[in-house]
Amino acid sequence: MFIAVAGAIAILAVVARLSIAGSGPFPARVGEVVPSAGGLAVTLTVTNQGDSTGQSSCRLSRVGDGGMGTASFVTTPRIGGHQTRTFTSTVTEFGTAPTDLQVECRTP
């Protein structure tokens, strides 16, 4: 029984990895940052430079914090291969006063 369960988990892991293969990298840039209900509405433009449709997890932080300060994580919508999407997400981690933000999106 254990071998069957372990085998099924291994197969699911391979299928999951293959389903995201070929997507990314995901270069991104921050556009408009404006006050929103309880936080900031941040507009991001993200490009999927890969051949396959995929999505990414992006880390927003204040410019110049060296990666050591407050951060917020946003998941992009699905982006087709060699396509660019612009979307807005509301984040609460930085308060409501507009601030300069930077973004880094990871390849899954």
DSSP secondary structure letters along the chain: -HHHHHHHHHHHHHHHHHHHTT-----EEEEEEEEETTEEEEEEEEEE-SSS-B--EEEEEETTSTT-S-EEEEEPPPB-TTEEEEEEEEE-TT-SS---EEEEE---
Q: Is residue 69 in a domain?
A: yes
| 49 in any annotated domain | yes
- Asked whether residue 3 is assigned to any structural domain, the reply reads no
Q: Which range of residues forms the domain containing residue 43?
A: 23-105
Report the number of distinct structural domains present in the chain. 1
Residues 37-48: what's their mean pLDDT?
96
Q: Who's near 54: CB < 8 A, 6+ residues apart?
A: 20, 22, 23, 24, 26, 48, 78, 79, 81, 108
Task: Please indicate, yes or no, if residue 90 is contained in any of the structural domains.
Answer: yes
Q: What is the pLDDT of residues 57-103, one digit of tens each?
A: 999 999 988 778 999 999 999 999 999 999 999 999 999 999 999 99
Is the pTM higher than 0.85? The answer reads no
**Residue 15 is assigned to a structural domain of this protein:** no
**pLDDT reported for residue 67:** 73
User: Is residue 93 in some structural domain?
Assistant: yes
